[in-house]
């Protein structure tokens, strides 16, 4: 028996525009099949009924996935008033109804309640773990999961249109925000019910729907281009952290998992140029060697410690 093919060493990001009725893991599997990549992962799950931006990491880019998961996200969504469903979206069964359909003025009035750092309870049909079990598995058995409230960050929530039974919104939010829970809670605040009927993610960090491609488009492009020429750089997920060029000696230490110390006046000047002021900045840095990503490192005082070293 021959050895199992491991796949190609492709490193970088693909900005996929997810189709409706596809799960995030299905998209990742399709990207691996189309590109032949040895390793792939996604940055932030997206409900099957949703469409839009799903960044897929290949190879060494998977080491930067946590930074994309923490990135700001933008959604466009539609809420239908007067009905609650068990999933808080149009995929579920209707469990309660009301004849009340709020006007635009009423909706605008409650939006400040859902802006800033707010508390929400994730939907019963969600990937939240309860004692090691997913909430949606508990819900599918017909049981109610005891899901604890969590704090999430809503930077902007704007009403775009209101047409009687439905309203369209634009949302800018941080990690862990459930749009379905937002629709449900807005309905309660308006003394009616609400659930999501249309959901589209238009941006994740620096990945926008403007340059996202569908799986069908990716397959078409791969007929003419090798996958290595289609992927975005590994560092595309790290635009929000300082980039610091290392000397050959420093890069060698970092590649071996060793710390790098900055002690001279020249070191301080180089760090300052990169936006890293000693004694003031504490956080992650993208370490570069010859202009190429070498590692994600953490700055503590005058010491730079490797967190994730890239094998590029």
Distance CA 47, CA 88 (A): 12
Non-local CB neighbours of 193 within 8 Å, separated by 6+ positions: 81, 82, 83, 84, 96, 97, 98, 184, 187
Q: Which one from 17, 19, 21, 47 is the annotated catalytic residue?
A: 47
99 is catalytic: no
Cα 264-268-274 angle, rounded to 5 deg: 145
CB of 111 closer than 8 Å to CB of 167: no
Distance CA 312, CA 309 (A): 9
Could you tell me the two tokens for 50?
């949703």
One DSSP character per residue, 268-280 reads HHHHHHTT--TTT
CA 216 → CA 24, 58, 212, distances in Å? 15, 18, 12
What are the catalytic residues?
Answer: 47
């Amino acid at each position: 028996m021959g050895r199992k093919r491991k796949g190609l060493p492709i490193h970088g990001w693909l900005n996929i525009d997810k189709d409706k009725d596809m799960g995030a893991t299905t998209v990742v599997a399709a990207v691996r099949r189309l590109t032949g990549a040895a390793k792939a992962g996604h940055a932030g799950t997206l409900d099957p009924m949703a469409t839009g931006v799903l960044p897929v990491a290949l190879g060494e880019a998977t080491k930067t996935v946590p930074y994309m998961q923490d990135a700001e996200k933008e959604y466009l969504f539609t809420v239908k008033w007067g009905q609650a469903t068990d999933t808080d979206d149009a995929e579920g069964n209707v469990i309660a109804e009301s004849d009340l359909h709020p006007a635009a003025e009423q909706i605008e009035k409650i939006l400040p309640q859902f802006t800033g750092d707010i508390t929400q309870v994730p939907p019963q049909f969600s990937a939240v773990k309860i004692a090691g079990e997913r909430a949606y598995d508990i819900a599918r058995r017909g049981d109610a999961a005891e899901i604890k409230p969590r704090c999430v960050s809503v930077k902007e929530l704007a009403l775009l249109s209101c047409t009687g039974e439905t309203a369209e919104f634009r949302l800018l939010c941080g990690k862990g925000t459930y749009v379905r829970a937002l629709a449900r809670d807005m309905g309660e605040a308006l003394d009616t019910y609400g659930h999501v009927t249309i959901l589209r993610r238009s941006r994740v960090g620096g990945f926008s729907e403007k340059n996202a491609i569908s799986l069908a488009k990716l397959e078409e492009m791969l007929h003419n281009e090798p996958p290595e020429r289609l992927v975005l750089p590994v560092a595309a997920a790290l635009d929000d952290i300082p980039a610091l060029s290392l000397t050959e000696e420093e890069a060698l230490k970092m590649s071996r998992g060793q710390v790098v110390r900055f002690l001279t006046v020249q070191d301080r000047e180089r760090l300052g140029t990169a936006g890293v002021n000693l004694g003031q900045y504490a956080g992650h840095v993208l370490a570069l060697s010859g202009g190429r990503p070498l590692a994600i490192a953490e700055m503590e005082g005058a010491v730079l410690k490797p967190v994730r070293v890239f094998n590029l």
